[in-house]
Structure formats: C-alpha cells, structure tokens
C-alpha cells in the first residue's frame, strides 16, 4: 500500500474503534486488555496520547523515565485515565480520527500498526469481533519493523494466514487467522499454545 492507502486504512481503523467503544459499558472500559497492566481505558488513553501531548511532553516523560518509552507511556496513560473519563477519552479519539500523527521513524504504516495492534488488545480481551479486516492486519504483519519492535523469535515457524494472503518463514506450522498471527508476532500470545498439526489445535482465541 502507498501512504494514501495506508492513511485511509488508519482512518477506517479509528472509525471502527469509535463504533466499538461507543457501545461499551463502564464495566467493559475497566476490562483488563492484552496490554499487561492496562485496562481498556488505558489503551484508549495511549492510542490518543499523541493528540493530547506535544512531543516535548513525551520527551520530558522519557527523560524522567531514563529513556524508557514503555515506562513513560505507562505513566502518561495512567495519568490521562485519572484525569479523563471514558467519554472524554472517546471524544478525543473521535475528534482526531483524521489526525496525521506518525510515530518517530515509523511512517504511516507505523501509525496504522499502532492502532491495529492496540485495537486487538481491546477487542480480543472483550471477546468482540476485530475491527480490522484480515487484509489490514496483513499490511501490519508485513511491516519490516514489526519483529524488531517486539523482539519475538519466530525462527522455526511457518506463519500463514487462513483468511488472507500472507505466508512467512519455514518450520512448525502456524496456520491461523491473521489477527492471531499478529498477536503472536507482538508477544500477546505464545506460538506454542496455538500450534498443532495444522497450526489450529489449541488455539485460544
């Protein structure tokens, strides 16, 4: 996909997330997500962080966290959920559905990946259908920066989507829906828990 197509997919992803979040109960906003230590509301706070905080604020948070972005992001997400209600977090996403934010060095694919991965963190935890169609997830799976970002070793596995055109690697088969492959590639699920003779035995989603 070129940048225009990726931006259109990013807008569609955010629009889909708004539709899901709009229907959640207060209890569901407090459901633990697949991001360790974060409820759905912290994930939404993180997704919308670039719309509320200028780069200098994030940089200052990283300085306080001694350069660890994960620590800085966690502190900002917790602060933002303490200061904003679920409706305020949702309204922030709604106002910025067409925002042009891109992660440093990540480009438009990085922006799409950010929203797709965290979207699954929420919908999977809530037991809801994925917002992202398989083809959008495959665009993220093909990102050359995905493996480096999450440091998941999948050598010795053959990854193939059963619902989209995606194949990668050789070895023990992991033939699964694209969303499950992305959760494995981002460390949300263990490949050993999801692989069998055809890659589907023991799947836990």
pLDDT tens column, 12-32? 999 999 999 999 999 999 999
Q: Are residues 163 and 115 in the same domain?
A: no
Where among 131, 154, 183 does a domain terminate? 131
Q: What is the pTM of this model?
A: 0.91
Q: Are residues 11 and 97 in the same domain?
A: yes
pLDDT tens for 83-123 read 999 999 999 999 999 999 999 889 999 999 999 999 999 99
pLDDT tens for 115-148 read 999 999 999 999 999 999 999 999 999 999 898 8
pLDDT tens for 26-61 read 999 999 999 999 999 999 999 999 999 988 999 999
CB of 183 closer than 8 Å to CB of 171: no
Domain enclosing residue 195, as ranges: 133-205
What pLDDT, on a 0 to 100 scale, did the predictor assign at position 55? 87
Mean pLDDT across the chain, nearest whole number? 92
b/e burial code for range 126-165 (CB count within 10 A of at least 16 → b): eeeebbbbbebbbbbbebeebeebeeeebeebbbbbebbe
Report the distance separating Cα 118 and Cα 40, nearest Å: 9
Report the distance separating Cα 38 and Cα 31, nearest Å: 9
Residue 191 pLDDT level (bands cut at 50, 70, 90): confident
Q: How many residues does the chain have?
A: 205
Domain count, the chain: 2
Q: Which two tokens stand for residue 63?
A: 């300085």
What pLDDT, on a 0 to 100 scale, did the predictor assign at position 204? 37
């Amino acid at each position: 996909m070129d940048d225009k197509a990726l931006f259109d997919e990013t807008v569609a992803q955010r629009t889909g997330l708004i539709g899901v979040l709009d229907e959640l109960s207060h209890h569901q906003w407090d459901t633990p997500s697949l991001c360790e230590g974060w409820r759905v509301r912290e994930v939404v706070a993180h997704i919308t962080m670039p719309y509320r905080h200028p780069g200098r604020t994030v940089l200052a948070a990283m300085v306080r966290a001694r350069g660890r972005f994960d620590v800085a992001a966690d502190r900002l997400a917790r602060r933002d959920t303490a200061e904003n209600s679920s409706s305020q977090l949702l309204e922030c996403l709604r106002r910025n559905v067409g925002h042009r934010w891109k992660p440093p060095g990540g480009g438009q694919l990085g922006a799409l990946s950010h929203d797709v991965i965290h979207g699954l963190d929420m919908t999977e935890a809530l037991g809801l259908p994925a917002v992202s169609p398989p083809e959008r997830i495959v665009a993220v799976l093909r990102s050359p920066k995905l493996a480096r970002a999450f440091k998941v070793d999948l050598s010795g596995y053959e990854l193939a989507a059963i619902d989209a055109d995606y194949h990668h690697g050789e070895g023990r088969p992991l033939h699964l829906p694209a969303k499950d492959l992305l959760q494995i590639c981002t460390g949300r699920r263990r490949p050993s828990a999801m692989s069998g003779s055809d890659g589907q035995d023991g799947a836990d989603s």
